[in-house]
């Protein structure tokens, strides 16, 4: 057995040819990569630990409340002849006849359900239309609806024989909810109608009601569009917020895995170097013992 074969083993050759040449550079490169990965993982973890911010959706401004004046009503009345002030008020559906007895109807907004304040305001408005000139309450007629084989009436139906001003007012009030809103509308009608001569109030009231219904219907349509858009924006914001939360949760999990991988890499480098150091020390001790034995 030669001296070289005794002193040098497989690990000695490995150390001379590879380990000693690249160990220092390899160690620092591997440690640097592990440190960079650790720092990056910690930064990613901290970023994803910041709570997601929910986007605030501003509620749209509601369309302005409808407000009519005498000038608005005059514009509607301008193309119409002024010699027939109540040509539309009190218009009949089919005329009542002895075979179709007429009966007085209830208010389009039933009297027994009216708030006392609203009822008082309606009475004030009604006082502007004397009963000898204008019909306030509507008149309904009754006519056969179904007959049997012998021509006998089996059921009857009620129809509007003569439309009163209260019917027109009721159609306007049906667009509003709540006593406060309805009181405001009746007060406006009273203020506007009081500025017209008695002979023109019937046509003016009908024009006011038509104009207010048109504008309020358009306003409510615009309001529904705005509400639908606002609801869609809120749903979109909720979806983005949920997606951001899920993304951050996944980021936290990934960052924790990266931190673990970085620590594991550093630990593996340390174990590998410890293994090489133990092997080298073992060989050195073995060589010293053999040398002492030969001596």
Together in a domain, 232 and 242: no
Q: 94 pLDDT exceeds 70? A: no
Of the candidates 198, 220, 236, which is a domain's last residue?
A: 236
Higher pLDDT pick, 81 / 131: 131
In a domain, 65, yes or no: no
Lowest-pLDDT range of 111-115, 234-238, 246-250 = 111-115
Mean pLDDT of 195-211: 92
Of the candidates 199, 218, 236, which is a domain's last residue?
A: 236
Lowest-pLDDT range of 76-85, 177-186, 199-208 = 76-85
Buried b (16+ CB within 10 A) or exposed e, 217-253: eebeeeeeeeeeeeeeeeeeeeeeeeeeeeebeeebe
Mean pLDDT of 254-263: 77
Together in a domain, 135 and 230: yes
Q: 44 pLDDT exceeds 80? A: no
pLDDT category, 281, cuts 50, 70, 90?
A: confident
Together in a domain, 192 and 219: yes
| For the chain, percent of residues with pLDDT exceeding 70 | 77
Number of folded domains that form the chain:
2
Together in a domain, 74 and 218: yes
Together in a domain, 137 and 194: yes
pLDDT for the residue 105: 38
Lowest-pLDDT range of 52-56, 116-120, 214-218 = 52-56
pTM of the prediction?
0.57
State the average pLDDT for the chain.
Answer: 77
The whole-angstrom distance between residue 19's C-alpha and the CA centroid of its chain comes to 67
Whether 58 contacts 184, CB under 8 Å: no
Together in a domain, 158 and 30: no
Together in a domain, 154 and 209: yes
Together in a domain, 159 and 104: yes
Q: 82 pLDDT exceeds 50? A: no
Cα end-to-end distance, the chain, whole Å: 16
pLDDT for the residue 7: 52
Mean pLDDT of 34-54: 77
Where in the sequence is the domain holding 254, given as residue range(s)? 3-54+238-294
> In angstroms, rounded to a whole number, what is the distance separating the alpha carbons of residues 220 and 227?
10
In a domain, 133, yes or no: yes
In a domain, 76, yes or no: yes
> In angstroms, rounded to a whole number, what is the distance separating the alpha carbons of residues 144 and 42?
86
Together in a domain, 83 and 201: yes
Among 147-156, 164-173, 188-197, name the most confident range. Answer: 188-197
> In angstroms, rounded to a whole number, what is the distance separating the alpha carbons of residues 73 and 43?
69
The whole-angstrom distance between residue 196's C-alpha and the CA centroid of its chain comes to 45
Mean pLDDT of 119-138: 89
pLDDT category, 14, cuts 50, 70, 90?
A: low
Q: 261 pLDDT exceeds 70? A: yes
> In angstroms, rounded to a whole number, what is the distance separating the alpha carbons of residues 220 and 225?
9
| pLDDT per residue as tens digits for the range 212-235 | 999 999 999 999 999 898 888 888
pLDDT category, 4, cuts 50, 70, 90?
A: very low
In a domain, 61, yes or no: no
| pLDDT per residue as tens digits for the range 60-79 | 788 888 899 989 999 988 86
Q: 10 pLDDT exceeds 90? A: no
Contacts 24+ apart (CB under 8 A), 50-54: 50/248, 51/248, 52/241, 52/244, 52/245, 52/248, 53/244, 54/237, 54/238, 54/241
Together in a domain, 136 and 187: yes
Together in a domain, 229 and 94: yes
> In angstroms, rounded to a whole number, what is the distance separating the alpha carbons of residues 160 and 156?
13
Together in a domain, 105 and 229: yes
In a domain, 62, yes or no: no
Of the candidates 214, 236, 258, which is a domain's last residue?
A: 236
């Amino acid at each position: 057995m030669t001296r070289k074969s005794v002193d040098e083993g497989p690990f000695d050759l490995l150390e001379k040819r590879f380990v000693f040449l690249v160990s220092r550079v390899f160690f620092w490169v591997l440690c640097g990569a592990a440190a960079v990965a650790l720092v990056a993982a910690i930064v990613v973890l901290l970023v994803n630990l910041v709570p997601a911010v929910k986007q605030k959706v501003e509620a749209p401004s509601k369309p302005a409340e409808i407000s009519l004046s005498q000038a608005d009503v005059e514009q509607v009345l301008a193309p119409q002849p002024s010699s027939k002030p109540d040509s539309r008020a009190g218009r009949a559906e089919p005329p009542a006849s002895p075979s179709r007895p007429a009966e007085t109807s209830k208010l389009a907004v039933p009297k027994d359900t009216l708030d006392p304040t609203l009822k008082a305001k309606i009475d004030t408005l009604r006082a502007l239309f004397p009963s000898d000139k204008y019909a306030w309450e509507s008149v309904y007629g009754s006519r056969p609806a179904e007959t049997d084989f012998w021509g006998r009436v089996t059921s009857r139906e009620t129809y509007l024989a003569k439309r009163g001003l209260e019917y027109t007012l009721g159609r306007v009030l049906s667009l509003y909810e709540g006593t406060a809103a309805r009181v405001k509308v009746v007060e406006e009608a009273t203020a506007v109608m009081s500025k017209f001569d008695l002979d023109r109030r019937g046509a003016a009231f009908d024009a006011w009601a038509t104009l207010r219904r048109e504008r309020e219907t358009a306003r409510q349509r615009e309001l529904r569009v705005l509400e639908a858009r606002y609801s869609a924006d809120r749903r979109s914001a909720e979806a983005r917020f949920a997606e951001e939360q899920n993304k951050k949760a996944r980021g936290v999990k990934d960052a924790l895995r990266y931190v673990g991988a970085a620590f594991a890499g550093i630990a593996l480098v340390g174990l590998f170097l410890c293994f090489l150091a133990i092997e080298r020390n073992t060989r050195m001790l073995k060589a010293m013992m053999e040398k002492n034995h030969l001596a």
